[in-house]
Every structure is written in structure tokens, then in C-alpha cells.
Amino acid sequence: MKTKKILMRVFQNAIAWIVSLIVLIPLVVIFISSFKTAAESYTLNLELPKKLILENYSVVIEKGKLLGSFINSFIYASTSTLLIVFLATMAAFVLARNKSKMNRFIYYFLVLGIAMPVNYISLMKVMQFTHLINTRIGIVLIYAAFALPISIFIAYGFIDTIPRELDEAAIIDGCTPESLYFKVIFPLLKPIIATLFVLNFMSTWNDFTMSIYFLNESSKWPMTLAVYNFFGQFSTQWNLVCADIVLTCIPVLIVFILGQKYIVTGMTSGSVKE
């Protein structure tokens, strides 16, 4: 039995290494190619550059207008994520603590949005009617609306595990519903808040579809559209394209590295009830 367990662990580790290499090798190729000349990067291989061309990054930032696109992406991702976190946790708190028939209906109606397909024609009409198309606030509201169903679902499961005795004790001490949420419940939501923030920030930062449909001015484009436009202009210069991709990925990697320890905790905290 012991030998069987050892062999199983070796097999599992081997599979994990193979999968990791499959994922990492393209990223390493892109990173190495970002420091090569145009001729060297044409083949996109793991061969190290003969000379590090650091100027690729300065060229990308200048010609790709990445500074403005970076600011746009940061505004869209951070603003929509903060909006999602506060709305999802507050809605989940109310729905989890007051399980009336009406609240159950509202909860299932909201969660149904996870599986609902997107009708871009209707959404376009709504955006035009509300004069939110091609506006920064419009794209932020779209990101928030699409992420709320799954965020409420995740937050609901976590809040449902928090003992109701805390609510009762706080109410006896004179807490209003608002102070109960912000002073008692909200501090306990750190794992799920970090989870929602990381997942939604990464999703919004990497989104391409919404911005290409609802943002017509290049000055309002996020980094994903800037990379797409840059690739169209410099498709023969893979060194510049790779440098552009690296710069686009860095913020997402930083957010993920800082918040990864909270993701598993937040995702699994509401899965088991005692």
C-alpha cells in the first residue's frame, strides 16, 4: 500500500509538471522574445537573445499609447470591482439573513443571470437609450452588472456560514441594520472580499468583447484593445508585440500573486456548513 501511494504521488507530480510546462512555455517564449530584435523574434523560440533590447518596451509604451490605456483599464477594473464587492456582499447579506419567499425568489432570479446568454443587440439599444454608450461609466456599469450574479452566489454561501448569534448580540447592543453590516459582518468578510476582488479585477482587466462593442474612441480603450490595435500595426515585429503582451499581463499577475492565498479560502469557506 505504501509503495502504491508513493507511485501515485509520483504520477500526480509528473502530470502537474507536464501541465505546468504546457502553460508556462508559451509565456516564457513571449517574455524572451520581448528582448530580441525583430529578426530574432520571428521564429518565437526559447533561444536566448544575443543582446537584450530593452528599448522594445519604451517603443511599445510610446507607439502603443499604453499609458493612457493602462489608466483606462485600471479605472474600469478597480471601479467596477469595488462596485461589485459592495453590492454583492450587501445583497448577499440581506438575502442570506432574511430567507422569506420573496427573498428566495430574488436570490434565484439574480443567480439565474450566471447561465443567461448575452443579447448584445438589446444591450446596445439600452446603452444608446440611456446615453451610456462610449462612456467610461457605461462600461463600468456593464462589467458590474455581468459579474454580480456569480459574485452574489459566492458571497451568499460565505455569509450563510456566519452564526446568526452575532447579529442577535449586536442588535441587543443597539446596532442598526447599517451598523450591523458595516461594523460586525463586513470585517468578517475579508476572505470573500479578497476572492471577489481578485477574480473580478482579473476578469475585467482581460476582457476584450465589451470594450470593442461599446467603446468607439481609442482614447477610452483598455489595454486589451490597445494590444489588439498594436498587433494590427506591428504584426511583423513580434518582439514589440511580445513586449506589449508582457506589459499588459504584469498588473494581473501582481494582483493574482497578492491575492491568491485568499482565493481558495474564500471559495471554499461557504461550501461546508456545520
User: Would you tell me how many other CB atoms lie within 10 Å of the CB of residue 150?
Assistant: 19
Of the listed ranges 95-99, 127-131, 190-194, 231-235, the one predicted with least confidence: 231-235
Chain-wide mean pLDDT for the chain? Answer: 85
Residue 231 has pLDDT above 80, yes or no: no
- Kindly give the interhelix angle for 190-206 and 66-97, rounded to the nearest 10 degrees: 140
CB 31 within 8 A of CB 41: no
Q: Please say if the pLDDT value at position 87 is more than 70.
A: yes
Could you read off the pLDDT of 26-66 as tens digits, one per residue? Answer: 889 889 998 988 888 888 788 888 888 888 888 888 877 78
pLDDT tens, 145-195? 999 999 999 999 888 888 888 888 888 888 888 888 888 888 888 888 888
Residue 141: band (very low, low, confident or very high) from pLDDT cuts 50, 70, 90: very high
Q: What's the pLDDT at 263?
A: 65
**CATH says 55-268 is which class?**
mainly alpha
- Picking from 175, 222, 196, 210, the residue whose alpha carbon sits closest to that of residue 66 is 222
Domain ranges of the chain: 55-268
- Three-state secondary-structure class, residue 42: helix
Q: Compute the distance between CA of residue 118 and CA of residue 153 in angstroms, rounded to an integer.
A: 19
What's the CA dihedral at 6, 9, 10, 14 to 10 degrees? 170
